[in-house]
């Protein structure tokens, strides 16, 4: 089996042609989807990058592997103590390699996020750059294509390739953004919504779009109107288009090698991206639909049917379990995922009834998602402005604009009950286990921006009232740090 896993940072499914997007952003991915299966309801269990890829390596939810944020408290990857490796909860890479598959990654993720566990089990690790995830797709392919030409015809390998281009700062050639100039832009957010977003004072809001004052031409300075939003959307779609072009180069190489039709493909993302939802732009900073709903394309020659569509909730950890199953291996008992390979084979299969997801980098939240409802409980809102309890009707409000928790108290109780059952299974039944989310709640989700730093930014830009609101929320120490005292 030759398996290629294409891992794309910050990719939304609704910006891909095979998911119905009106712009032709992903023709090469679409061609793979046409030959295999498209999953409509795949979600990352934990966001953003570190917890999601820790799940990729471990097959476990963030609450179980422990790396629920990017560094500091709540980012301690949990693995059994001792010199040996666990047979019950093996790393995916070690599990495949032990079964005879060659495991190879082209990714700078471990370097970017100082993640020791990411390097476990690979036969080959190619970081191919010291840019720590800021490399463009051409730089990735400059390393990958020579490897394919040298080793692609070999049998029994798992090749992981990571592309970063849909992630900010959109540093690809500008013409890939310019190609969308004048083309239609999706309806949300409309002008009225953008006008309401002008009152927000948190990072990545319409007014405070950037961390720093310098940014590429592919991005607007603020989101003041629909024209600015189109500018941002062109930049995001330009990154997707540039990345897809280089996936096309991979396909051309496989065709030249004569193995294009023999390769198994899995295409997914670590998380997606908010583009106006909850007032957040070009960021993956909460447990929302826009951040957690990810694409999943699977093509397995001899197994999947062309144009197959799979409905039913799956986690990214289910993808890991399915990789093992498709490789002819039993799913390890300590993994949290369940294989969906039966669905690919046309056998009886049913997705999960509901999902529980979490985020602990910018805010501390857990969400419960079923077919109709999305419930989000906020434990620490960080620099943002989220209600403690939110409920959204996903059938009538897919962008999660209206919190209807007060109108549906019975639904809130049911979703809270599901959350508590999940926590009982994964935390409380373990006895002395500490919830990594709680570690972040206790210390605060202050990673890329502290309270004091953001207060100084607000004061610099004349938002003194917003700065004082933060001081009132987090106390005198934050006010002291804001003035450098």
Q: Give the model confidence (pLDDT) of 140-192 as tens digits.
A: 999 999 999 999 999 999 999 999 999 999 999 999 999 999 999 999 999 99
CATH number for the domain spanning 281: value is: 3.40.720.10
Q: What does residue 2 show for φ and ψ, rounded to 5 degrees? A: -105, 115
Q: Which residues contact 183 (CB under 8 A, 6 or more apart)?
A: 23
Query: Comparing 85 with 194, which gets the higher pLDDT?
Result: 194
Q: Supply the pLDDT for residue 431.
A: 64
User: Are both 45 and 65 inside the same structural domain?
Assistant: yes
DSSP E strand stretches across 383-444? 389-393
Residue 391 in domain: yes
**In terms of DSSP bridges, do strands 37-43 and 281-283 run parallel, antiparallel, or are they unpaired?**
unpaired
Q: Which residues contact 360 (CB under 8 A, 6 or more apart)?
A: 46, 51, 62, 68, 69, 74, 436, 437, 440, 445
Q: Supply the pLDDT for residue 97.
A: 98
| 425 has a pLDDT exceeding 80 | yes
The token pair that represents 99 in the structure block: 């079964």
User: Are both 399 and 472 inside the same structural domain?
Assistant: no
Domain hosting 312: range is: 2-344
Q: Give the model confidence (pLDDT) of 82-121 as tens digits.
A: 777 888 999 999 999 999 999 999 999 999 988 989 999 9
Coil, strand or helix at 255: helix
Residue 240 in domain: yes
Residue 32 in domain: yes
User: Are both 397 and 276 inside the same structural domain?
Assistant: no
Helix (H), strand (E), coil (C) string for 315-371: EHHHHHHHHHHHCCCCCCCCCCCCCCHHHHCCCCCCCECCEEEEECCCCEEEEEECC
User: Are both 306 and 220 inside the same structural domain?
Assistant: yes
Mean pLDDT of the chain: 95
Q: Supply the pLDDT for residue 485.
A: 40
Q: What one-character DSSP code corresponds to residue 278? A: G
Q: Give the DSSP H/E element, type plus range, for residue 40.
A: strand 37-43
Q: Supply the pLDDT for residue 43.
A: 98
Share of the chain above pLDDT 90, in %: 91
CATH number for the domain spanning 413: value is: 3.30.1120.10
User: Are both 333 and 362 inside the same structural domain?
Assistant: no
Q: Supply the pLDDT for residue 432.
A: 61
Cα Rg, the chain, nearest whole Å = 22
Q: Mean pLDDT across the stretch 18-28?
A: 98
The token pair that represents 390 in the structure block: 């939110």
Q: Mean pLDDT across the stretch 224-231?
A: 98
State the Cα–Cα distance between residues 290 and 277, nearest whole angstrom. 7
Q: Supply the pLDDT for residue 296.
A: 98
User: Are both 272 and 403 inside the same structural domain?
Assistant: no
Whose structure tokens read 């959204």?
392
Q: What angle do CA 82, 85, 87 make, to 5 degrees?
A: 125
State the Cα–Cα distance between residues 272 and 311, nearest whole angstrom. 19
- Give the pLDDT band (50/70/90) at residue 212: confident
Q: Mean pLDDT across the stretch 68-86?
A: 88
Residue 89 in domain: yes
Q: Supply the pLDDT for residue 355.
A: 98
Per-residue DSSP letters for 174-211?
THHHHTTTTS---SSS-HHHHHHHTT--STTSSSS--S
Q: Give the model confidence (pLDDT) of 432-481 as tens digits.
A: 678 999 999 999 999 999 999 999 999 999 999 999 999 999 985 555 54
User: Are both 297 and 328 inside the same structural domain?
Assistant: yes
User: Are both 439 and 455 inside the same structural domain?
Assistant: no
Q: Supply the pLDDT for residue 484.
A: 44
| 79 has a pLDDT exceeding 90 | no
Q: What does residue 484 show for φ and ψ, rounded to 5 degrees? A: 75, 15
Residue 192 in domain: yes
> Residue length, the chain?
485
Coil, strand or helix at 282: strand
| 430 has a pLDDT exceeding 80 | no
Residue 238 in domain: yes
- Give the pLDDT band (50/70/90) at residue 193: very high
State the Cα–Cα distance between residues 351 and 310, nearest whole angstrom. 9
Residue 348's CB is within 10 A of a number of other CB atoms, namely 7
User: Are both 312 and 368 inside the same structural domain?
Assistant: no
User: Are both 392 and 427 inside the same structural domain?
Assistant: yes
Residue 350 in domain: no
State the Cα–Cα distance between residues 120 and 56, nearest whole angstrom. 12
Q: Supply the pLDDT for residue 482.
A: 42
Of the listed ranges 212-221, 266-275, 354-363, the least confidently predicted one is 212-221
Whose structure tokens read 């004569």?
258
Report which of 170, 169, 167, 274 is spatially closest to residue 212, judged by C-alpha positions: 169
Structural domains of the chain, count: 3
User: Are both 436 and 455 inside the same structural domain?
Assistant: no
Q: Supply the pLDDT for residue 277.
A: 98
Q: Which residues pair with 374 in a beta bridge?
A: 369, 392
Residue 349 in domain: no
Of the listed ranges 158-162, 257-261, 267-271, 426-430, the least confidently predicted one is 426-430
Share of the chain above pLDDT 70, in %: 97
| 427 has a pLDDT exceeding 90 | no
Q: What dihedral angle (degrees, nearest 10) is formed by the CA atoms of 436, 439, 444, 450?
A: -80
User: Are both 283 and 257 inside the same structural domain?
Assistant: yes
| 139 has a pLDDT exceeding 80 | yes
State the Cα–Cα distance between residues 357 and 43, nearest whole angstrom. 8
């Amino acid at each position: 089996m030759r398996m290629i896993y294409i891992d794309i940072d910050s990719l939304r499914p609704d910006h891909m042609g095979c998911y119905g997007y009106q712009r032709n952003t992903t023709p090469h991915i679409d061609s793979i989807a046409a030959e295999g299966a498209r999953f409509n309801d795949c979600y990352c269990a934990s966001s953003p990058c570190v917890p999601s890829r820790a799940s990729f390596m471990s097959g476990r939810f963030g609450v179980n592997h422990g790396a629920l944020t990017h560094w500091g408290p709540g980012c301690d990857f949990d693995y059994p103590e001792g010199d040996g490796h666990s047979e019950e909860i093996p790393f995916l890479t070690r599990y495949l390699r032990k079964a005879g598959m060659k495991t190879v990654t082209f990714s700078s993720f471990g370097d970017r996020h100082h993640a020791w566990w990411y390097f476990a089990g690979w036969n080959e690790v190619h970081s191919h750059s010291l840019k720590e995830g800021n490399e463009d797709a051409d730089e990735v392919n400059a390393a990958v294509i020579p490897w394919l030409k040298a080793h692609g015809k070999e049998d029994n390998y798992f090749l992981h390739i990571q592309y970063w281009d849909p992630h900010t700062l959109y540093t690809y050639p500008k013409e890939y953004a310019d190609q969308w100039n004048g083309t239609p832009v999706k309806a949300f957010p409309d002008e009225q919504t953008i006008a309401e977003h002008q009152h927000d004072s948190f990072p990545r809001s319409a007014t405070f779009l950037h961390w720093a004052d310098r940014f590429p031409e592919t991005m607007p300075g603020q989101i003041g109107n629909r024209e600015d939003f189109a500018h941002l959307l062109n930049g995001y779609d330009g990154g997707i288009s540039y990345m897809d072009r280089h996936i096309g180069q991979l396909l051309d190489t496989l065709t030249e090698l004569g193995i294009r039709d023999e390769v198994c493909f899995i295409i997914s993302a670590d998380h997606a991206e908010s583009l106006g939802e909850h007032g957040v732009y070009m960021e993956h900073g909460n447990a929302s639909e826009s951040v957690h709903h990810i694409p999943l394309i699977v093509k397995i020659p001899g197994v999947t049917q062309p144009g197959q569509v799979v409905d039913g909730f799956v986690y990214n950890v289910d993808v890991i379990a399915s990789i093992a199953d498709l490789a002819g291996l039993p799913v390890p008992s300590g993994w949290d995922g369940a294989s969906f390979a039966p669905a690919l084979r046309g056998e009886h299969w049913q997705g999960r009834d509901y999902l529980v997801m979490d985020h602990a980098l910018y805010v501390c939240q857990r969400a419960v998602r079923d077919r109709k409802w999305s419930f989000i409980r906020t434990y620490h809102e960080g620099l943002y402005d989220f209600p403690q309890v939110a409920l959204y009707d996903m059938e009538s409000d897919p962008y999660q604009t209206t919190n209807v928790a007060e109108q549906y108290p019975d639904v809130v109780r049911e979703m809270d009950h599901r959350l508590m059952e999940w926590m009982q299974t994964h935390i409380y039944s373990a006895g002395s286990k500490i919830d990594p989310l709680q570690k972040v709640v206790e210390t605060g989700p202050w990673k890329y921006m502290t309270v004091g730093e953001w207060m100084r930014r607000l004061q610099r830009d004349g938002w003194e009232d917003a700065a004082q609101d933060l001081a009132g929320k987090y106390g005198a120490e934050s006010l002291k740090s804001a003035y450098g005292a």
